[in-house]
Amino acid sequence: MNVEVRHLRALAAIGDEGTITDAAIALRVSQPALSRTLEQLESRLGTRLVERTTRSLALTPAGQRLWEHAHRILNQLDDALAEAAAESAPRPLRAAFAWAMLGRHTVPLLRAWRELRPDVPVQIRRVDDPEAALRRGEADVAFLRTSPSAGLGCLALMRERRLAAVPDHHPLAGRDAVRLADLTGEPVVLCATAATSGAELWPEEARPHVFQVPGVDEWLTAIATGEAVGVTTEGTSHSHPHPGVHYVALADADPVTVHLAWPDTPVHPATNAFRELVQRLTTQGTP
């Protein structure tokens, strides 16, 4: 099909930026030149990748799939070129997570890895969608609290308790445990990046008022100021302690499984060694 790297970079930028104009600016090319590159790619593939009107632009299903592959291919190419140019040890192993990596195991894991493989540092990255980062080649492994879709390797590591997060002056803060019904009369704030906790935890006829904030800092602030209470998993209490927030065990909500995911064909040569260490640490409790 004679598809070139410039074609993939063009589609990646168009999907990222949402308009031909903004994508052209990001790539530092003219808008007509970028349009011609896109048309050439569609012609060589024999399929429409972008639906354009005078007011909007959207990737077609085929375009969405190729956009995802393009990111992964381009990231792998950039990594390979950088590694070859440096003539040094492999680049860092990139580990992505949404709001909590591995709870109480995070620091022991990173310390143990540093002792085991001082030649390969781990670069941890908080991202809104770690599975998407993995599929685009922006991460080598990802810690997930939802089951990944097809096309990824996956290892279930452990099950985390759910917790209620309440202001430190709240009457529930003094309890050893609470139940979902105790929160029904309270506004419940949801974090957009914490997809494991939502209104569906409660029976449909007894759901509290819920509202959403974009990130964990906003979530913690809403709770600490008394605007709302929250529901989260155990890893949050280790990763995000807050002087105004008290975490209490939630007795009647199912725990959440923490997964480690990686590409079916691992990109980083240290992926298997990292997976083995994570598994050993979480099952035995020690590195």
Mean pLDDT of the chain: 90
Q: What is the pLDDT of residue 89?
A: 59
pLDDT above 80: residue 78:
no
Share of the chain above pLDDT 70, in %: 95
pTM score of the predicted model: 0.73
Q: Give me the number of domains the chain comprises.
A: 3
Is the same domain home to 268 and 242? no
Beta strands in the chain (DSSP E): 50-52, 57-59, 93-97, 122-126, 141-144, 152-160, 162-167, 177-178, 188-191, 210-213, 230-233, 245-250, 256-263
Pick the last residue of a domain from 85, 106, 138.
85
Q: Is 125 helix (H, G, I), strand (E, B) or coil?
A: strand
Q: Tokens 């002056």, residue?
A: 169
Q: What is the pLDDT of residue 175?
A: 95
Is the same domain home to 107 and 189? no
pLDDT band at 201 (very low <50, low <70, confident <90, very high): very high
Question: Across residues 249-267, what is the average pLDDT?
Answer: 92
What the block records as the tokens of 169 is 């002056």
Give tens-digit pLDDT for 82-107.
666 665 556 899 999 998 899 999 99
Would you say the C-alpha torsion 156, 160, 165, 169 has a positive or negative sign? negative
Burial track 264-286 (b if 16+ CB lie within 10 A, e otherwise): eeebbebbeebbebbeebbeeee
CB distance 249 to 166 below 8 Å: no
Q: What is the pLDDT of residue 74?
A: 85
Is the same domain home to 151 and 224? no
Check residue 229 and report its DSSP letter.
B
Is the same domain home to 153 and 135? yes
Q: What is the pLDDT of residue 286?
A: 44
Q: Is 228 helix (H, G, I), strand (E, B) or coil?
A: coil
As a residue count, the chain comes to 287
CB distance 102 to 235 below 8 Å: yes
Q: What is the pLDDT of residue 91?
A: 81
Q: What is the pLDDT of residue 88?
A: 57
Is the same domain home to 125 and 97? yes
Give tens-digit pLDDT for 14-70.
998 888 889 999 999 999 999 999 999 999 999 999 998 767 789 999 999 899 888
Pick the last residue of a domain from 55, 85, 115.
85
Question: Across residues 254-270, what is the average pLDDT?
Answer: 90
Amino acid at 168: D
Rounded Cα distance between 14 and 24, Å, is: 8
CATH of the domain at 20: 1.10.10.10
Within 10 Å of residue 54's Cβ, how many Cβ atoms?
4
pLDDT above 50: residue 287:
no
Q: What is the pLDDT of residue 280?
A: 94
Is the same domain home to 145 and 263? yes
Q: Which domain holds residue 250?
A: 162-254
Pick the last residue of a domain from 85, 101, 125.
85
Give tens-digit pLDDT for 121-178.
999 999 988 998 888 888 999 999 988 887 789 999 999 999 999 999 999 999 999 9
Is the same domain home to 244 and 110? no
CA atoms within 13 A on the CB side of 97: 19
Is the same domain home to 100 and 131? yes
Q: What radius of gyration do the chain's Cα atoms show?
A: 22
Is the same domain home to 21 and 144? no
Nearest one of 50, 68, 106 to 260, comparing CA atoms: 106
pLDDT band at 113 (very low <50, low <70, confident <90, very high): very high
Rounded Cα distance between 279 and 158, Å, is: 9
CATH of the domain at 245: 3.40.190.10
Is the same domain home to 133 and 49? no
Is the same domain home to 173 and 242? yes
Share of the chain above pLDDT 90, in %: 67
Is the same domain home to 238 and 168? yes
Q: What is the pLDDT of residue 235?
A: 93
Q: What is the pLDDT of residue 73?
A: 85
